[in-house]
């Protein structure tokens, strides 16, 4: 099917207004990534229900903590990507790993309970996240820094729009069909996303594109960058704030407020709208004021979520939390990658990306047990939520300090 010249011109005008005037190769890669991101959106929308599904299957907040912790193994082992990229191109490594991970989700049709589903999810996230440094190198190679924020925002907009539409449908599907049907279908669309990504044109790689360092070398490189380390302190505190509280969210949703998957799907719809809007806001903030402004504001907004859960007595009272989480997801998605690229030495991007991913992984592996551990010591759940909010504000202060250094 061929579009009319008038429609083509109109779409080109809208695209230029959103992403700027781009060279042909840059525009082509952006369009391919948008198509890939749209298919990926259904895959990601399904995964947002994983903690609730585990809880419905009888999982406790402790089990959800285990799930969240194990989902960070891919960050911890991201240094493996440096070894693979000595032999193969970043795109080949990323697509291969993503493809295998999304095939794993299809096996959820045979997962007979929470432990089996937890095992599959662990393998999935490992394969999904390990190629993070490869993806950072790809972004640096294909998108000019002057337009990177807007392009990333537009690509994520396509993903978030899909999630907005898919989330309530997936919630309804889980209620009617069960995870054994919905998760494999989402895995198929995730597989389509990775296969579309193959069409990306990596025309010219920047200097230093050959990965020669180890993860230990990467950590040595970044520790000499004081701004980067102050920023990473904020990242650690932010992760502690978010992950200490998140394992208790499904408990509030399912056990305290008695919400159904359909209810959660509608709240997720609000979150997706917030996420959608957030990409445009954060993309422009990154291009105009820098990535650390985006990160600092994201950390401040994160404090809203646990404070909302601390006092919610009905489902609609969770609306501010879902709005905040949508903005935080968009801000973190754009901000973490952009900050890493902004603060790194141009020829050591992969090392900085590996260091950031490893730090996030170690933090994420431990943090989900913080809130549950405090509960075990007798600390009331609302107090844990308030502490999480204060940690998020402390993270924002670190990001602001890094911005001014």
Calculate the alpha carbon distances from 70 to 63, 118, 121, 178, 324 in Å: 11, 9, 9, 24, 24
pLDDT at 401 over 80: yes
| pLDDT value at residue 13 | 54
**CA 39, chain centre distance (Å):** 16
104 vs 27: which has the higher pLDDT: 104
- Residue with the two structure tokens 């609306």: 319
- What is the average pLDDT value for the chain, to the nearest integer? 83
pLDDT digits 0-9 by tens, 199-246: 888 765 444 444 455 556 666 767 778 888 899 899 999 989 988 888
| pLDDT value at residue 208 | 43
| pLDDT value at residue 293 | 92
346 vs 107: which has the higher pLDDT: 107
Q: Sorting pLDDT into bands at 50, 70 and 90, what band is 400?
A: very high
196 vs 158: which has the higher pLDDT: 196
Q: What is the span of the domain harbouring residue 138?
A: 23-202+214-404
- Out of 83-92, 112-121, 175-184, 371-380, which region has the weakest mean confidence (pLDDT)? 83-92
pLDDT at 394 over 90: yes
47 vs 84: which has the higher pLDDT: 47
| pLDDT value at residue 193 | 94
Task: Assess if residue 161 is contained within a domain.
Answer: yes
Q: What are phi and psi of 48, to 5 degrees?
A: -65, -20
C-beta of residue 208 within 8 angstroms of C-beta of residue 348: yes
pLDDT digits 0-9 by tens, 331-362: 988 888 888 878 877 677 777 877 888 888 88
For residue 375, what is the domain's CATH number? 1.20.1250.20
pLDDT at 10 over 60: no
Number of structural domains (the chain) is 1
pLDDT digits 0-9 by tens, 110-148: 887 888 899 999 999 999 988 887 887 888 788 777 777
**CA 146, chain centre distance (Å):** 23
Structure tokens at 139: 């972004």
Q: Is the pTM of this model over 0.75?
A: no
Task: Assess if residue 6 is contained within a domain.
Answer: no
pLDDT at 185 over 70: yes
C-beta of residue 327 within 8 angstroms of C-beta of residue 278: yes
Task: Assess if residue 227 is contained within a domain.
Answer: yes
Task: Assess if residue 279 is contained within a domain.
Answer: yes
pLDDT digits 0-9 by tens, 245-293: 888 888 888 888 888 878 888 888 888 788 888 887 888 888 888 889 9
Task: Assess if residue 108 is contained within a domain.
Answer: yes
Task: Assess if residue 8 is contained within a domain.
Answer: no
Residue 21 sits at the vertex; the CA angle it makes with 3 and 16, to the nearest 5 degrees, is 45
- Out of 65-69, 113-117, 169-173, which region has the weakest mean confidence (pLDDT)? 65-69
Give Cβ neighbours of residue 298 (< 8 Å, ≥ 6 apart): 238, 282, 327, 328, 331, 332, 335
**What's the half-sphere exposure (Cβ side, CA atoms, 13 Å) at 128?**
22
């Amino acid at each position: 099917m061929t579009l009319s010249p008038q429609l083509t011109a109109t779409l080109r005008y809208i695209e230029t207004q959103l992403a700027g005037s781009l060279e042909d190769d840059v525009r082509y890669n952006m369009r391919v990534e948008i198509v890939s991101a749209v298919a990926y959106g259904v895959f990601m929308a399904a995964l947002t229900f994983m903690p609730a599904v585990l809880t419905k299957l009888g999982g406790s907040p402790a089990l959800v903590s285990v799930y969240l912790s194990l989902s960070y193994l891919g960050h911890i082992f991201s240094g493996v990507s440096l070894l693979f990229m000595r032999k193969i191109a970043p795109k080949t490594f990323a697509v291969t790993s993503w493809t295998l991970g999304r095939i794993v989700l299809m096996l959820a049709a045979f997962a007979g309970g929470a432990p089996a589903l937890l095992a599959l999810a662990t393998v999935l996230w490992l394969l999904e996240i390990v190629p993070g440094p490869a993806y950072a190198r790809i972004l640096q190679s294909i998108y000019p820094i002057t337009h990177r924020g807007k392009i990333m925002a537009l690509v994520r907009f396509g993903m978030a729009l899909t999630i907005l539409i898919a989330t309530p449908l997936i919630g309804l599907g889980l209620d009617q069909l069960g995870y054994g049907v919905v998760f494999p279908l989402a895995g198929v669309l995730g597989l389509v996303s990775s296969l579309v990504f193959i069409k990306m044109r990596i025309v010219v790689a920047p200097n230093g594109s050959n990965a020669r360092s180890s993860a230990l070398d990467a950590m040595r490189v970044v520790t000499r960058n004081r701004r980067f380390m102050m920023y990473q302190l904020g990242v650690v505190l932010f992760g502690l704030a978010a992950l200490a509280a998140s394992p208790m969210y499904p408990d509030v949703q399912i056990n305290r407020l008695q919400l159904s998957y359909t209810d959660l799907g509608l709240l997720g719809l609000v979150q997706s709208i917030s996420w959608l809007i957030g990409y445009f806001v954060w993309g422009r903030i990154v291009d105009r004021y820098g990535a650390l402004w985006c990160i600092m504001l994201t950390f401040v907004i994160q404090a809203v979520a646990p404070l909302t859960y601390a006092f919610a007595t009905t489902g609609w009272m969770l609306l501010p939390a879902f709005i905040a989480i949508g903005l935080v997801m968009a801000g973190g998605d754009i901000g973490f990658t952009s900050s890493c690229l902004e603060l790194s030495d141009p020829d050591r991007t992969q090392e900085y990306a590996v260091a950031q991913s490893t730090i996030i992984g170690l933090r994420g592996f431990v943090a989900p047990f913080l809130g549950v551990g405090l509960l075990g010591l007798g600390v009331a759940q609302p107090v844990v939520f308030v502490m999480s909010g204060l940690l998020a504000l402390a993270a924002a202060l670190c990001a602001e300090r890094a911005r001014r250094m």
